[in-house]
Structure 1
Amino acid sequence: MLLLQPPRFLPLPRCRLAGRRRRRAPAPALAFHSQWKLPDVDTDAVQERVRSWLSKARGAVVDAAHAARDRGKHKEEAEGRTKQRKEEVEEQAVFMVPEITVERRVGRGWLSLDAVVAIEQFARLNGLTGRKLQRIFKALAHEHVHSDARSLVEYCCFRYLSRDNSSFHPSLREVAFQRLIFVTMLAWKDPYDEDNDPHSSLENYSVLGRLVGEDAFVRIAPAVAGVADVSTAHHLFRALVGTEKGLTLDLWTTYLGELLKVHHGRQTHKIGDNFLSDEQVLCIGSSRKRPVLKWEQNTAWPGHLTLTNKALYFEAIGLAGMKKPLRLDLTDHNTRVQKAKVGPFGSRLFDSAVSVSSGSMSNEWTLEFVDFGGEMRRDVWLAFINEIISVYKFIREFGPSDDDPAIHHVYGAHRGKKRAVSSAANSIARLQSLQFIRRLHEDPAKLVQFSYLSGAPFGDVVLQTLAVKFWSGKLNANSKVANQRSPQRHKHSEGSSSGQSHVLDIDGSVYLGKWMTSPSWASSHSVSFWRGSSVKHGVILNKSLVVADKSLVEKAMVACQEKSKVVEKTHATIVAATIEGTSTSLCNNG
């Protein structure tokens, strides 16, 4: 801010302080008895000083006025954006429903308006009418299923989604499709009309103010490729909703909008000479306000940190500019990452760093993520790095080796490794999106699939189902593997060997027994799970989408959730008992 001072052609008079003796100040230049005369004063200089002072004063006033106007303008712009966003949400919440052909009367009641809209819209996407799709479902489904409204909603939605095999569904770029998925979650939550009113009107149908619950989100969102994982969907919902009662349309579209930005940024980022041609950039840590520091012998070097699907790259910023980037491989079986504390002279004052090592102590990085708002930035990057390390650990434990000729005997098995890495990349993208919209109400470690499952109860069985999902396929009829042994359900045997029975996925895909080298396959809870993993009455569209039943991954996650609740309850009981015991001890000692 500009400080105004009076013109300095006259010295300011000095005040004399009572009770203190001090040297007499010199007389003012124009004091009485001075030999100076008024004509001796340079009037031009005085006028110039006055003009300069007035100019500065005028400039300060103008600057203050501009600042006030800018503040008001920014406030108006913010209010305008808020109003515009509100209008957009209200506009998006209103649906223009085409001609309704759905038969609202089903076996157990009347379809709700949400169900009618979802069924009719997905029928059009499938190139059919709602009534035609209803009849197809009735012919396919078991008699206990085809009269269920919720199963009908699932069939219409899953049938369209099963047509795409990409890792991120292309229709998510369309706002209309985002709204349709939201309506489908509402329809799954309440598929029946509570009033059983067949004459309820779809005119001005709107979802404004409606809330999606956790069960509906966990069932529908993972079916859309890239939006959620079955294993982390519960935690994703809680991270989004926080203390709110449910998921709103505004929050849903905001999350998907940020997710699209993350994927678009990855596609547009150009791989330079510093990175290998087969690596994909996942995220970049570089900010003037929040730098990344690499600590070496009590010295912190700022720089740019880049995470790819295989490695970490750090480009230190020196006095002469950017230095040659360093690379740390994350695919090695000895790679580790953990929290770390850093500080000058080895003081370890700041709990805001991670330590990443690959192979040997000489190849260890200590990276500090400066975050004046707390430790969340460090925790997010810890989850990023740990997810890449965990997915390659998963590939080594459950996947075939790259030089295994049996890969070519199972259709699509050669793409299993790529599918697993893409799944990990999607987990990181979702965590980035939550970070951008400031919706991290959950531990970041619970939002990335492979690192979460590596420490979760029953997580090893969930990882087995993921392996079957990624690497299983139809057997080549001319292969030796197909002639050696017909595929069977996994049966318990002492240890894992190449002679062990193959595993069938729910769609008939085969996961070879020779790939079952992990000791976890021989565990009792694994054997028990695979014995009861068949689908009884559901309609199977593919290995991930089953109407009125669950896929293998979903079934394993149900057991994982139940065991996790038991562990959490036991831990809470132990903590409470410890606190109570400590309090009693203190009271007795007192």
Structure 2
Amino acid sequence: MGDIFVAEQTIHSRTPNGILSLAAVVSIEQFSRMNGLTGQKMQKIFKALVPESLHNDARYLVEYCCFRFLSRDSSDIHPSLKEPAFQRLIFITMLAWENPYHEELANTSEKASFQGKLVRVSAFVRIAPAISGVSDRSTVHNLFKALAGDEEGISLNVWLTYISELLKVHEGRRSYQIREFPQFCEERILCIASSSKRPVLKWENNMAWPGKLTLTDRAIYFEAIGLRGEKDAIRVDLTRHGLRVEKAKVGPLGSLLFDSAVSISPSSESKPWVLEFVDLGGDMRRDVWLAFISEVIALHKFIHEYGPEDGDESLFHVYGAHKGKERATTSAINSIARLQALQFIRKLFDDPSKLVQFSYLEYAPYGHVVCQTLAVNYWGGPLVTKSVVAGNQPIQGAWHSNEVFESSNHVFDIDGSVYLQKWMRSSTWASSASTTFWKNSSIRQGVVLSKNLVVADLTLVERAAETCKKKYHMVEKTQATIDAAMLKGIPSNIDLFKELMLPLAITVKNFEKLRRWEEPHLTLSFLVFAYTIIFRSLLSYIFPMALMIMAAGMLTLKGLKEQGRLGRSFGKVTIRDQPPSNTIQKIIAVKDAMRDVENSLQNLNVTLLKIRTILLSGQPQVHCHHS
């Protein structure tokens, strides 16, 4: 499966910068032929386009051959992905981009295996988003982490499995019988949850109703299954402003026992939907569906904030701008498809929302600038300069006197596409980060094949996404440092001790309530139970019964955990963050900690004295001896 064969090599392996690796030779030659040329001719064209300093850079030659072929298609999902040979060629291209040179002369007359090779993060981030549907620029780093797992890179098997599942997801969407649902005629179905093994329950008035859940690009539908079959579907419009979706706990009689639900609040006045996602295979299903729904909501927030208003006539002044909303929707749909594929191959990230573009950018640092570049990418295009003269015949080249064209504050993509100033309705355009970014956006050095493909340089989305990734990494690193520091010192360890002793403390507290007759009916019931055990000579059964109850409880918890109904946070120890402190505050904290230790020792001593008194059948006596 990892073998590749090159019949003819037309480029020279020896270059001024080193000997081309086998992967580089294969990638250059194969893509050159797919472009209708030989590797040698592609190399000549490449040298004619790039600066002289890049003439002998094999990495950029690999980029040019690959990107030139990819630029010929603008489909939502690249059609060549269906071909196994193309899937392997992309993997080889990523290897070639990472290591374009080799120490020894490559022999391309024989089969060579790329099985066992790993694609690293830099190569994946550069090549994968260039292929329509495989990844987006904003979340490609998180996609790499999900696919790589504990490994240092992505293997060929993992890559082929991911692409295969991704294609199955898209094929499955096309197979949905939309004609059975006339209400979906103007919507695109994204996900359907109706499996009996993985039911969806809608909780209402402490009652759970199983049903069929359908997510589209505009709404979510639930069809309850009653005794008489399916009922009419109820709908929540996900395009509505002010919609909130969050994790929730559910349970019988309001017990909030199961941490496996999602709450969807259409507004502050209406009653929220509470949907529980039971999963017998793990505890990630709720989080995945939360990411699905959040992405659709975030998509429409993005369109409302960064896109032109509906019915804006200026949409027709920019070529292709009327398709901007469709492009943004397609991007979100592809994000959800990728998350579905990762779910099927069990390669999910800790937080699935980091794998879907708009949900991730909504809270990421510098995310608003990335959203701006995406808006320019989706709605930007060449200005349409037509003027109607006598006879209603449009003449190309006549410039409008309209104010749309007179403003000098439009922003431009790397290929010259324009995004009009009047579309900049979001307040984020006035931020200092945004101003700085767009001031330097016109600087370019590479070969622009399209607004999404640039050789030897970065697109605007890539530049913003790279900065966003660095800032996000900085935030995570800072938080990790704080978390690590919080576990040091006496106060933190005392908090940890208290958290670990919490179950015992709760038990002692409940027995104290019984002893003080705070709830007489409970105390009376406990005494009746205790006297029954004593006078019925059942004491010998207490220990085995306790073990049986404990075992039953453990099995119940295990079953609920496997169903994903307890949530991923169940069983985790939570330690309160300690506020930053100076030297004096630290001394006071140590003093307080020592006082807590002293109190604990006093309580322990009192308990030991009581036990000693009972054993010796006498009064406790303590003598202090001074030497």
Where does residue 166 of structure 1 map in the other structure? 75
Does the 8 Å CA contact 1:340/1:352 hold for their aligned counterparts? yes
Q: Once the 2 structures are TM-superposed, how far is the Cα of residue 440 of structure 1 from its aligned partner?
A: 1.1
**How far, CA to CA, are the matches of 1:573 and 1:184 in structure 2?**
37
**1:331 equivalent among 226, 235, 239:** 239
The alpha-carbon deviation at position 563 of structure 1 amounts to: 1.0
Q: Which one of the candidate residues 256, 264, 274 is aligned to 1:366?
A: 274
Residue 533 of structure 1 and its aligned partner are, at CA, apart by 1.7
Match of 2:124 in 1: 217
Equivalent residue, structure 1, for 2:521: none
**Which residue, 64, 76, 85 being the options, matches 1:176?**
85
> 2: distance between equivalents of 1:521 and 1:500?
15
**Inter-partner Cα distance in structure 1 for 2:271 and 2:35:** 54
Quick one: structure 1 residues 478 and 532, their matched pair in 2 at CA, closer, same or farther if it must change by over 3 Å?
same
Q: Counterpart in 1 of 2:338?
A: 430
In structure 1, the partner of 2:617 is none
State the alpha-carbon separation in 2 of the partners of residues 171 and 483 from structure 1: 45
State the alpha-carbon separation in 1 of the partners of residues 109 and 142 from structure 2.
Answer: 34
| Counterpart position of 1:398 | 306
**Secondary structure class of the residue paired with 1:528:** helix
Taking the aligned partners of 1:251 and 1:388, their CA distance within structure 2 comes to 28
**Contact 2:209–2:225 (CA<8 Å) still a contact in 1?**
yes
Q: Indicate if the aligned counterparts of 1:298 and 1:346 stay in contact, CA closer than 8 A.
A: yes
Instruction: Find the aligned partners of 2:168 and 2:488 in 1 and give their Cα distance.
Output: 49
Q: 1:529 aligns with which of 419, 424, 437?
A: 437
Divergent runs of 4+, >6 A = 485-488
In structure 1, stretches of 5+ residues that fail to align are 1-91, 489-498
Q: Give the 5 Å matches for 1:105-144.
A: 105-144=14-53
Aligned with 1:571: secondary structure? helix
Which amino acid in the other structure matches residue 529 of structure 1?
Answer: F
State the secondary structure of the residue aligned to 2:386: coil
Tell me how far apart the structure 2 counterparts of residues 136 and 523 of structure 1 sit (CA, whole Å): 42
Does structure 1 residue 207 correspond to structure 2 residue 114?
yes
Partners of 2:294 and 2:467 lie apart in 1 by 24
The 3-state SS of whatever aligns with 1:144 is helix
Corresponding residue to 1:466 among 374, 384, 387: 374
Which of 130, 148, 151 is the matching residue for 1:241?
Answer: 148
Structure 1 residue 347: Cα displacement: 1.1
Question: How much identity, in percent, do the aligned residues show?
Answer: 59
Match of 2:138 in 1: 231
> 1: CA distance between counterparts of 2:263 and 2:404?
48
C-alpha displacement at 1:389, in angstroms?
A: 0.2
1:526-565 to structure 2, matched below 5 A, reads: 526-565=434-473
Deviations 1:309-329 (A, max 9, x none): 111011110001011111111
2:203 alignment partner in structure 1 = 295
Q: Distance in 2 between matches of 1:449 and 1:191?
A: 31
Q: Is the 8 A contact 2:7 2:109 kept in 1?
A: no
Query: Could you tell me whether the CA contact under 8 Å between 2:414 and 2:444 is conserved in 1?
Result: no
Query: What residue in structure 2 maps to residue 307 of structure 1?
Result: 215
- CA distance in 2 between counterparts of 1:351 and 1:584 reads 28
Indicate the residue corresponding to 1:104 in structure 2.
13
Task: Report the alpha carbon displacement of residue 360 of structure 1 after superposing the two structures with TM.
Answer: 4.9
Partner of 1:317, secondary structure, is: strand
Deviations 1:173-205 (A, max 9, x none): 11011001000000001001123x3x6344111
Secondary structure of residue in 1 paired with 2:328? helix
The one-letter amino acid of 1:406's match is S
Shift of residue 363 of structure 1?
5.1
Q: Are residue 285 (structure 1) and residue 193 (structure 2) matched?
A: yes
Structure-2-length-normalised TM-score: 0.75
- Quote the Cα distance in structure 2 between the aligned partners of 1:129 and 1:483: 49
Q: How many residues end up aligned between the 2 structures?
A: 487
Deviations 1:39-82 (Å, cap 9, x if unpaired)?
A: xxxxxxxxxxxxxxxxxxxxxxxxxxxxxxxxxxxxxxxxxxxx
Q: Secondary structure at the match of 1:338?
A: strand
Q: Give me the whole-angstrom Cα distance separating, in 1, the residues matched to 2:126 and 2:443.
A: 17
Q: Contact between 1:235 and 1:442, CA under 8 Å: does it hold in 2?
A: no
Q: For 1:117-139, what per-residue CA distance to the aligned partner results, in whole angstroms no more than 9, with x for missing partners?
A: 00000011111111111111111
Cα gap change, 1:219 to 1:244, in 2 (>3 Å): same
Superposition deviation, residue 486 in structure 1: 8.9
CA RMSD of aligned residues (A): 1.8
Segments of structure 2 that go 5 or more residues without pairing to the other structure are 388-397, 496-592, 598-627
Please give the alpha-carbon distance, in whole angstroms, between the structure 2 residues aligned to 1:527 and 1:230: 21
Q: Distance in 2 between matches of 1:97 and 1:393?
A: 49
Distance of 1:186 and 1:522 partners within structure 2: 41
Equivalent-residue separation in structure 2 for 1:303 and 1:387 (angstroms): 22
Conserved 8 A contact 1:167-1:225: yes
| Cα displacement (A) at 1:481 | 8.6
Instruction: Note if contact 1:399-1:417 (Cα within 8 Å) is conserved in structure 2.
Output: yes
What is the Cα deviation at residue 449 of structure 1? 0.2
Equivalent AA in structure 2 for residue 308 of structure 1:
T
Contact 1:535 1:550 (C-alpha < 8 Å) held by counterparts: no
Q: Which amino acid aligns with 1:425?
A: I
Structure showing greater relative contact order (alpha-carbon pairs closer than 8 Å, 6 or more residues apart) = 2
- Structure 1 position 264 matched with structure 2 position 171: yes
Instruction: State the partner residue of 1:376.
Output: 284
**What secondary structure sits across from 1:188 in the alignment?**
helix
Counterpart amino acid of residue 192 in structure 1: Y
| 1:491-506 superposed matches below 5 A | 501-506=409-414
Does the 8 Å contact 1:158/1:223 carry over to 2? Answer: yes
1:461/1:514 Cα in 2 relative to 1: closer, same or farther (>3 Å)?
A: same
